[in-house]
A and B are shown apart, each in its own frame.
Chain A
Amino acid sequence: MGTKLKAVYAYSIFIILYAAGTLLIAPSKQTLHQYHITLLHLRILDLTFIALYAVIWFCAVYGFYNFRQYYHLIKRTKDGKPLANITTGIGLLAFWVPTTSVFSTYTNYLVEKHANFAALIAISQNYLTLFIPLLGFIFVSIGARGLIDIVKQRPSLRGINSLVIFLVLIGVLYVYLVSNTHNRLNSTYHLSTLSILLTIVAPYIYMWFIGLLSVYEIFLYRVKSPGILYRESWKLLAFGLGALLVISMAIQYLTTVSERLTKLNLTWTLLVIYLFLILLAVAYVLIALGARNLKKIEEV
Protein backbone atom coordinates (compact mmCIF):
# COMPACT_ATOMS: atom_id res chain seq x y z
CA MET A 1 0.00 0.00 0.00
CA GLY A 2 1.38 3.44 -0.96
CA THR A 3 2.12 6.14 1.61
CA LYS A 4 -0.63 8.36 0.21
CA LEU A 5 -3.23 5.62 0.57
CA LYS A 6 -2.03 4.82 4.09
CA ALA A 7 -2.34 8.50 5.06
CA VAL A 8 -5.86 8.68 3.57
CA TYR A 9 -6.89 5.48 5.40
CA ALA A 10 -5.46 6.66 8.72
CA TYR A 11 -7.17 10.04 8.34
CA SER A 12 -10.53 8.46 7.40
CA ILE A 13 -10.40 5.97 10.27
CA PHE A 14 -9.79 8.75 12.80
CA ILE A 15 -12.60 10.90 11.42
CA ILE A 16 -15.08 7.99 11.33
CA LEU A 17 -14.17 6.90 14.86
CA TYR A 18 -14.44 10.44 16.19
CA ALA A 19 -17.71 11.20 14.38
CA ALA A 20 -19.24 7.90 15.47
CA GLY A 21 -18.13 8.34 19.06
CA THR A 22 -19.44 11.91 19.15
CA LEU A 23 -22.77 11.41 17.38
CA LEU A 24 -23.80 7.87 18.25
CA ILE A 25 -23.16 8.00 21.97
CA ALA A 26 -26.03 9.58 23.85
CA PRO A 27 -24.95 12.73 25.70
CA SER A 28 -25.31 12.92 29.45
CA LYS A 29 -28.40 14.69 30.75
CA GLN A 30 -26.05 16.66 32.98
CA THR A 31 -24.34 18.26 29.95
CA LEU A 32 -27.66 19.27 28.37
CA HIS A 33 -28.87 20.65 31.69
CA GLN A 34 -25.60 22.48 32.47
CA TYR A 35 -25.60 24.45 29.21
CA HIS A 36 -29.39 24.73 28.87
CA ILE A 37 -29.48 23.24 25.36
CA THR A 38 -31.54 20.65 23.57
CA LEU A 39 -30.19 17.44 22.06
CA LEU A 40 -30.57 18.96 18.57
CA HIS A 41 -28.49 22.01 19.53
CA LEU A 42 -25.82 19.77 20.99
CA ARG A 43 -25.69 17.67 17.83
CA ILE A 44 -25.32 20.80 15.69
CA LEU A 45 -22.42 21.90 17.90
CA ASP A 46 -20.93 18.40 17.64
CA LEU A 47 -21.08 18.63 13.86
CA THR A 48 -19.16 21.92 13.89
CA PHE A 49 -16.46 20.26 16.03
CA ILE A 50 -16.29 17.27 13.71
CA ALA A 51 -15.96 19.61 10.70
CA LEU A 52 -13.22 21.63 12.41
CA TYR A 53 -11.35 18.51 13.46
CA ALA A 54 -11.68 17.12 9.94
CA VAL A 55 -9.94 20.25 8.59
CA ILE A 56 -7.26 20.29 11.31
CA TRP A 57 -6.45 16.59 11.02
CA PHE A 58 -6.36 16.86 7.25
CA CYS A 59 -3.74 19.64 7.50
CA ALA A 60 -1.78 17.60 10.06
CA VAL A 61 -1.75 14.41 7.97
CA TYR A 62 -1.15 16.37 4.74
CA GLY A 63 1.86 18.11 6.33
CA PHE A 64 3.28 14.81 7.57
CA TYR A 65 2.70 13.12 4.21
CA ASN A 66 4.46 15.92 2.32
CA PHE A 67 7.38 16.05 4.73
CA ARG A 68 7.78 12.27 4.51
CA GLN A 69 7.75 12.49 0.71
CA TYR A 70 10.34 15.27 0.88
CA TYR A 71 12.52 13.15 3.16
CA HIS A 72 12.34 10.23 0.70
CA LEU A 73 13.45 12.52 -2.12
CA ILE A 74 16.58 13.68 -0.31
CA LYS A 75 17.36 10.86 2.11
CA ARG A 76 20.67 10.05 0.43
CA THR A 77 22.03 13.58 0.90
CA LYS A 78 23.76 14.88 4.03
CA ASP A 79 20.42 16.31 5.24
CA GLY A 80 18.86 12.85 5.10
CA LYS A 81 19.68 11.61 8.60
CA PRO A 82 18.42 14.67 10.53
CA LEU A 83 15.34 14.79 8.33
CA ALA A 84 14.52 11.15 9.15
CA ASN A 85 14.17 12.16 12.81
CA ILE A 86 12.19 15.31 12.03
CA THR A 87 9.84 13.24 9.83
CA THR A 88 9.17 10.82 12.70
CA GLY A 89 8.63 13.77 15.05
CA ILE A 90 6.20 15.52 12.70
CA GLY A 91 4.38 12.21 12.25
CA LEU A 92 3.89 11.83 15.99
CA LEU A 93 2.77 15.46 16.29
CA ALA A 94 0.35 14.99 13.38
CA PHE A 95 -1.33 11.99 15.03
CA TRP A 96 -1.19 13.45 18.54
CA VAL A 97 -4.51 15.35 18.39
CA PRO A 98 -6.52 12.70 16.47
CA THR A 99 -5.34 9.91 18.79
CA THR A 100 -6.04 11.77 22.02
CA SER A 101 -9.40 13.14 20.77
CA VAL A 102 -10.68 9.72 19.74
CA PHE A 103 -9.36 8.12 22.93
CA SER A 104 -11.02 10.80 25.09
CA THR A 105 -14.35 10.52 23.25
CA TYR A 106 -14.69 6.81 23.96
CA THR A 107 -13.16 6.74 27.41
CA ASN A 108 -15.34 9.65 28.61
CA TYR A 109 -18.34 7.54 27.65
CA LEU A 110 -16.89 4.65 29.65
CA VAL A 111 -16.59 6.91 32.69
CA GLU A 112 -20.25 7.84 32.42
CA LYS A 113 -21.22 4.18 32.45
CA HIS A 114 -18.66 3.02 35.00
CA ALA A 115 -17.74 5.80 37.40
CA ASN A 116 -15.18 3.60 39.15
CA PHE A 117 -12.97 3.83 36.03
CA ALA A 118 -12.78 7.62 36.31
CA ALA A 119 -9.35 7.76 37.95
CA LEU A 120 -7.75 5.18 35.66
CA ILE A 121 -9.15 6.87 32.56
CA ALA A 122 -8.20 10.40 33.62
CA ILE A 123 -4.65 9.23 34.32
CA SER A 124 -4.36 7.40 30.98
CA GLN A 125 -5.79 10.42 29.10
CA ASN A 126 -3.28 12.72 30.80
CA TYR A 127 -0.31 10.46 30.02
CA LEU A 128 -1.38 9.84 26.43
CA THR A 129 -1.74 13.60 25.88
CA LEU A 130 1.76 14.04 27.30
CA PHE A 131 3.76 11.17 25.80
CA ILE A 132 2.84 11.46 22.11
CA PRO A 133 3.99 15.10 21.69
CA LEU A 134 6.91 14.51 24.08
CA LEU A 135 8.20 11.71 21.87
CA GLY A 136 7.46 13.85 18.80
CA PHE A 137 9.49 16.78 20.06
CA ILE A 138 12.35 14.48 21.15
CA PHE A 139 12.65 13.28 17.55
CA VAL A 140 12.34 16.84 16.20
CA SER A 141 15.07 18.02 18.59
CA ILE A 142 17.47 15.24 17.50
CA GLY A 143 16.82 16.20 13.88
CA ALA A 144 17.15 19.94 14.53
CA ARG A 145 20.52 19.37 16.22
CA GLY A 146 21.65 17.39 13.16
CA LEU A 147 20.61 20.26 10.88
CA ILE A 148 22.57 22.93 12.74
CA ASP A 149 25.59 20.60 12.77
CA ILE A 150 25.43 20.66 8.97
CA VAL A 151 25.63 24.45 8.86
CA LYS A 152 28.20 24.38 11.70
CA GLN A 153 26.20 26.73 13.87
CA ARG A 154 25.46 26.57 17.59
CA PRO A 155 22.80 28.54 19.46
CA SER A 156 24.30 31.67 20.99
CA LEU A 157 24.76 32.05 24.75
CA ARG A 158 22.31 34.93 24.72
CA GLY A 159 19.76 32.82 22.84
CA ILE A 160 20.09 29.88 25.24
CA ASN A 161 19.85 32.21 28.24
CA SER A 162 16.70 33.88 26.93
CA LEU A 163 15.16 30.46 26.34
CA VAL A 164 16.03 29.21 29.81
CA ILE A 165 14.73 32.36 31.51
CA PHE A 166 11.47 32.10 29.57
CA LEU A 167 11.19 28.40 30.44
CA VAL A 168 11.90 29.00 34.14
CA LEU A 169 9.16 31.63 34.25
CA ILE A 170 6.49 29.58 32.50
CA GLY A 171 7.64 26.44 34.34
CA VAL A 172 7.38 28.04 37.79
CA LEU A 173 3.98 29.49 36.92
CA TYR A 174 2.84 26.06 35.71
CA VAL A 175 4.03 24.36 38.92
CA TYR A 176 2.23 27.03 40.95
CA LEU A 177 -1.02 26.58 39.01
CA VAL A 178 -0.88 22.77 39.23
CA SER A 179 -0.12 22.89 42.97
CA ASN A 180 -3.14 25.14 43.46
CA THR A 181 -5.50 23.30 41.15
CA HIS A 182 -8.77 22.95 42.91
CA ASN A 183 -9.84 19.31 43.26
CA ARG A 184 -6.63 18.10 41.58
CA LEU A 185 -6.54 14.81 43.52
CA ASN A 186 -9.98 13.54 42.61
CA SER A 187 -11.00 15.31 39.44
CA THR A 188 -8.28 16.58 37.09
CA TYR A 189 -5.22 14.37 37.69
CA HIS A 190 -6.21 11.65 40.20
CA LEU A 191 -2.62 11.56 41.43
CA SER A 192 -0.76 12.83 44.47
CA THR A 193 0.82 16.28 44.12
CA LEU A 194 4.34 14.81 44.07
CA SER A 195 3.37 12.30 41.35
CA ILE A 196 1.79 15.07 39.29
CA LEU A 197 4.90 17.23 39.60
CA LEU A 198 7.33 14.41 38.82
CA THR A 199 5.48 12.53 36.09
CA ILE A 200 3.40 15.23 34.39
CA VAL A 201 4.73 18.70 35.12
CA ALA A 202 8.46 17.87 34.80
CA PRO A 203 8.06 16.03 31.44
CA TYR A 204 5.94 18.91 30.10
CA ILE A 205 8.55 21.49 31.05
CA TYR A 206 11.24 19.27 29.50
CA MET A 207 9.15 18.95 26.33
CA TRP A 208 8.66 22.72 26.12
CA PHE A 209 12.39 23.23 26.55
CA ILE A 210 13.50 20.78 23.85
CA GLY A 211 10.65 21.99 21.66
CA LEU A 212 11.62 25.64 21.92
CA LEU A 213 15.29 24.77 21.48
CA SER A 214 14.40 22.80 18.33
CA VAL A 215 12.41 25.71 16.92
CA TYR A 216 15.37 28.00 17.67
CA GLU A 217 17.80 25.56 16.02
CA ILE A 218 15.62 25.14 12.94
CA PHE A 219 15.42 28.92 12.76
CA LEU A 220 19.23 29.11 12.98
CA TYR A 221 19.54 26.47 10.27
CA ARG A 222 17.21 28.55 8.17
CA VAL A 223 19.27 31.72 8.70
CA LYS A 224 22.55 29.99 7.86
CA SER A 225 21.21 28.03 4.88
CA PRO A 226 21.52 29.36 1.36
CA GLY A 227 18.49 29.67 -0.91
CA ILE A 228 15.74 32.25 -0.45
CA LEU A 229 12.92 29.82 -1.31
CA TYR A 230 14.46 26.98 0.69
CA ARG A 231 14.76 29.21 3.77
CA GLU A 232 11.18 30.39 3.42
CA SER A 233 9.89 26.81 3.64
CA TRP A 234 11.87 26.12 6.82
CA LYS A 235 10.57 29.36 8.33
CA LEU A 236 6.98 28.17 7.90
CA LEU A 237 7.88 24.84 9.44
CA ALA A 238 9.61 26.46 12.44
CA PHE A 239 6.64 28.77 13.05
CA GLY A 240 4.24 25.83 12.82
CA LEU A 241 6.18 23.79 15.37
CA GLY A 242 6.47 26.86 17.62
CA ALA A 243 2.71 27.39 17.43
CA LEU A 244 2.11 23.74 18.42
CA LEU A 245 4.30 24.29 21.49
CA VAL A 246 2.42 27.43 22.47
CA ILE A 247 -0.87 25.51 22.13
CA SER A 248 0.51 22.69 24.29
CA MET A 249 1.46 25.24 26.97
CA ALA A 250 -1.93 26.92 26.80
CA ILE A 251 -3.76 23.57 27.06
CA GLN A 252 -1.79 22.66 30.18
CA TYR A 253 -2.42 26.06 31.77
CA LEU A 254 -6.12 25.71 31.02
CA THR A 255 -6.19 22.16 32.41
CA THR A 256 -5.18 23.55 35.78
CA VAL A 257 -8.28 25.78 35.76
CA SER A 258 -10.57 23.23 34.08
CA GLU A 259 -12.78 23.07 37.18
CA ARG A 260 -13.46 26.79 36.82
CA LEU A 261 -13.95 26.50 33.06
CA THR A 262 -16.90 24.14 33.57
CA LYS A 263 -18.64 27.03 35.32
CA LEU A 264 -18.45 29.22 32.20
CA ASN A 265 -21.61 29.65 30.18
CA LEU A 266 -21.94 28.01 26.77
CA THR A 267 -20.88 31.06 24.76
CA TRP A 268 -17.60 31.48 26.62
CA THR A 269 -16.89 27.75 26.64
CA LEU A 270 -17.41 27.60 22.88
CA LEU A 271 -15.31 30.71 22.35
CA VAL A 272 -12.36 29.15 24.23
CA ILE A 273 -12.69 25.83 22.37
CA TYR A 274 -13.04 27.42 18.92
CA LEU A 275 -10.08 29.71 19.61
CA PHE A 276 -7.93 26.69 20.44
CA LEU A 277 -9.07 24.77 17.40
CA ILE A 278 -8.35 27.74 15.13
CA LEU A 279 -4.85 28.12 16.62
CA LEU A 280 -4.28 24.41 16.16
CA ALA A 281 -5.41 24.68 12.55
CA VAL A 282 -3.00 27.59 11.96
CA ALA A 283 -0.09 25.58 13.42
CA TYR A 284 -0.76 22.55 11.24
CA VAL A 285 -1.38 24.72 8.15
CA LEU A 286 2.06 26.36 8.62
CA ILE A 287 3.73 22.93 8.94
CA ALA A 288 1.80 21.65 5.92
CA LEU A 289 2.76 24.66 3.78
CA GLY A 290 6.43 24.43 4.75
CA ALA A 291 6.52 20.69 4.06
CA ARG A 292 4.67 21.06 0.76
CA ASN A 293 7.04 23.80 -0.45
CA LEU A 294 10.14 21.77 0.47
CA LYS A 295 8.73 18.79 -1.44
CA LYS A 296 7.85 20.95 -4.44
CA ILE A 297 11.42 22.29 -4.66
CA GLU A 298 12.60 18.69 -5.13
CA GLU A 299 9.91 17.82 -7.65
CA VAL A 300 9.59 20.61 -10.21
Chain B
Amino acid sequence: MNNNKAATLYAEVVDITYDYLGPAADRFVTRQIRSHLGKAPEELKKRDLRDLISWIKVAVSLLTDDDELINKYIFDLKRLAN
Protein backbone atom coordinates (compact mmCIF):
# COMPACT_ATOMS: atom_id res chain seq x y z
CA MET B 1 0.00 0.00 0.00
CA ASN B 2 2.76 2.42 1.06
CA ASN B 3 4.88 1.38 -1.91
CA ASN B 4 2.00 2.13 -4.24
CA LYS B 5 1.60 5.59 -2.74
CA ALA B 6 5.33 6.28 -3.18
CA ALA B 7 5.22 5.03 -6.74
CA THR B 8 2.28 7.35 -7.39
CA LEU B 9 4.18 10.29 -5.91
CA TYR B 10 7.20 9.44 -8.03
CA ALA B 11 4.97 9.16 -11.11
CA GLU B 12 3.49 12.58 -10.32
CA VAL B 13 6.95 14.16 -10.12
CA VAL B 14 7.88 12.50 -13.43
CA ASP B 15 4.62 13.64 -14.96
CA ILE B 16 5.34 17.29 -14.14
CA THR B 17 8.97 16.95 -15.24
CA TYR B 18 7.82 15.47 -18.56
CA ASP B 19 6.57 18.91 -19.64
CA TYR B 20 10.09 20.31 -19.25
CA LEU B 21 12.48 17.48 -20.07
CA GLY B 22 10.36 15.24 -22.30
CA PRO B 23 11.59 11.65 -22.68
CA ALA B 24 14.45 12.36 -20.27
CA ALA B 25 12.03 13.09 -17.37
CA ASP B 26 11.93 9.58 -15.89
CA ARG B 27 15.72 9.18 -15.96
CA PHE B 28 16.24 12.71 -14.61
CA VAL B 29 13.94 12.27 -11.60
CA THR B 30 15.31 8.79 -10.84
CA ARG B 31 18.84 10.22 -10.91
CA GLN B 32 17.95 13.06 -8.52
CA ILE B 33 16.26 10.68 -6.06
CA ARG B 34 19.04 8.09 -6.14
CA SER B 35 22.02 10.43 -6.02
CA HIS B 36 20.74 13.17 -3.69
CA LEU B 37 18.24 11.37 -1.47
CA GLY B 38 20.05 8.04 -1.60
CA LYS B 39 16.91 5.99 -2.09
CA ALA B 40 15.03 4.11 -4.77
CA PRO B 41 12.31 6.06 -6.66
CA GLU B 42 9.55 3.82 -5.26
CA GLU B 43 10.65 4.78 -1.74
CA LEU B 44 9.96 8.47 -2.32
CA LYS B 45 7.84 9.96 0.48
CA LYS B 46 6.00 13.26 0.67
CA ARG B 47 8.46 14.46 3.33
CA ASP B 48 11.33 13.96 0.83
CA LEU B 49 9.77 16.37 -1.64
CA ARG B 50 11.24 19.54 -0.14
CA ASP B 51 14.79 18.25 -0.50
CA LEU B 52 14.10 16.74 -3.89
CA ILE B 53 12.66 20.01 -5.21
CA SER B 54 15.73 21.91 -4.01
CA TRP B 55 18.01 19.49 -5.83
CA ILE B 56 15.88 19.61 -8.94
CA LYS B 57 16.07 23.41 -8.90
CA VAL B 58 19.87 23.24 -8.77
CA ALA B 59 19.97 20.67 -11.59
CA VAL B 60 17.57 22.56 -13.87
CA SER B 61 19.48 25.80 -13.28
CA LEU B 62 22.42 24.07 -14.95
CA LEU B 63 20.30 23.39 -18.03
CA THR B 64 18.75 26.80 -18.60
CA ASP B 65 19.04 30.46 -17.60
CA ASP B 66 15.31 30.96 -18.08
CA ASP B 67 14.23 31.89 -14.52
CA GLU B 68 10.58 32.08 -15.49
CA LEU B 69 10.64 28.50 -16.71
CA ILE B 70 12.55 27.26 -13.65
CA ASN B 71 10.13 29.03 -11.29
CA LYS B 72 7.10 27.59 -13.07
CA TYR B 73 8.56 24.08 -12.89
CA ILE B 74 9.37 24.44 -9.20
CA PHE B 75 5.93 25.95 -8.54
CA ASP B 76 4.32 22.92 -10.22
CA LEU B 77 6.41 20.56 -8.09
CA LYS B 78 5.69 22.45 -4.88
CA ARG B 79 1.99 21.95 -5.42
CA LEU B 80 2.64 18.23 -4.91
CA ALA B 81 4.22 18.91 -1.54
CA ASN B 82 1.17 20.79 -0.25
Are B22 and A230 closer than 8 Å at their CB atoms?
yes
By the criterion of a CB under 8 Å from any partner CB, how many residues of chain B are at the interface?
17
Complex Cα spacing A300 to B20, Å: 14
Partner of B19, one of A74, A79, A227, A297: A227
Q: Are A229 and B18 in contact (CB under 8 A)?
A: no
**Majority SS at the chain B contact face:** helix
Q: Is the beta-carbon distance between A79 and B23 smaller than 8 angstroms? A: yes
- Number of residues in A with C-beta < 8 Å to the partner? 16
Contact of B69 with A297 in the complex, beta carbons under 8 Å: no
Interchain CB contact under 8 A, A229 and B63: yes
- A226 contacts the other chain (CB 8 A): yes
**A190 CB–B CB distance under 8 Å:** no
Interface of B with A (CB < 8 Å)? Answer: 18-25, 27-28, 31, 59-60, 62-64, 69
Residues of A within 8 A of B (CB): 74, 77, 79, 225-232, 293, 296-298, 300
CB distance from A135 to the nearest CB of B (A): 28
Q: Which residues from chain B contact A297 at a C-beta distance below 8 Å? A: 21, 24, 28, 63
Note all chain B residues with C-beta closer than 8 A to A296.
62-63
Beta-carbon nearest neighbor of A77 in chain B: B23
Q: Is the CB of B23 within 8 A of A231?
A: no
